[in-house]
Structure 1
């Protein structure tokens, strides 16, 4: 791996942020060493002038790679994959972020779909069931979010009907990383009445076997 990716990556963000987790998982799959610094929620930092100079949104994650500073988790994933491809064209990034307009666009659509569609739908489910005390839960909002999210996982179930082990073919891609981070939340919340999605369950079981998933995604949700 090129020296520009050795001992220079710094990822700001708390481990229990799904957007931080995506980046950590991606870095792990790419074999990139990095330093993580706590930021967000109970750790503070994000409202300091120094942090806002890097990320004016005051959110996590933020990536520092030498003089390069980036925010937005999916953009960070793309950047890490592209940098890795520059350093090692036949390395793991060649599978995570495949070349060619059509293969790459098919991966990209899931990155966009996760942010535009899946994340907004499941937000009230996760926050309501994991980060809200029982006595303060808005059960109507939780149920509506659960039903909306279930319908979206049915879309992924149909996509996996192509007979391949991963969302866009035989290899793990960035699409599986962004979706898999949210699948951890879906399967980690005990709610009755979910749809039958055996292909998604089998796909998720494959993700669970990956060391980078186990390190960065599998820990208890909070």
Structure 2
């Protein structure tokens, strides 16, 4: 059984149980554990698989898909795999960077994020990232990396949930809206994504 360390409210932690449920991996979760000290960044999630400790959420979900041969989630063909990896990496860099300031200000109400100009700039950049995602979903007609649900849909799906859960005036993106509803047919997404937590 995989042990997941980190609070269930964390967007990065939630990637891991969602991936476990899609793959069929038994897991337990705790807010903390002694293995947390092995992450020099002091961040969550951390997983413990027997004597193996791993941190970084996207590395974790890739590891789980690879170890349990979840080839529908993480293809073995190089180009298909690269497409999945590209969108996972995009979420971690471009997408997250865009929404971080606005989300911290609007939802978390963190006093360190209170500059109105920076909030507006973040909302504008966030909308631009959503426009990129909307165009990609228009091309695939279904999921981020193609017709089938893949590992890329886990981090992207959680970020899309955050978009819909953040109270601000936002443009409508028809393909993103349809994607959100498509993900909502997955029990693991309802449990770990669209569960009332931004």
TM-score (norm 2): 0.93
4+ runs of 1 displaced by more than 4 Å? none
Question: In the alignment, what sits opposite 1:65?
Answer: 49
The match for 2:183 is 207
Give the equivalent residue in structure 2 for 1:89.
none
Structure with greater Cα Rg: 1
Q: Equivalent residue of 1:94, what SS?
A: coil
Please list every run of 5 or more consecutive structure 1 residues that lacks an aligned counterpart in the other structure. 1-7, 40-44, 86-92
Please list the CA deviations of residues 51-74 of structure 1 after superposition, one character each: whole Å capped at 9, or x if unmatched. Answer: 454212111000100011100000
Give the RMSD, CA atoms, in angstroms.
Answer: 1.7
Match runs of 1:17-32 below 5 Å: 17-32=10-25
| Structure 2 match to 1:179 | 156
Provide the residue aligned with 1:198 in structure 2. Answer: 174
**1:12 is matched with which residue: 1, 5, 20?**
5
Residue correspondence of structure 1 range 1-222 to structure 2 within 5 A: 8-39=1-32, 50-85=34-69, 93-132=70-109, 137-192=114-169, 194-221=170-197
Distance in 2, Cα, partners of 1:55 & 1:166: 32
Structure 2 residue runs without a partner (length 5+): none
Question: Structure 1: how far apart are the matches of 2:71 and 2:140?
Answer: 21
Contact 1:130 1:221 in 2 (8 A): no
Count the aligned residue pairs: 197
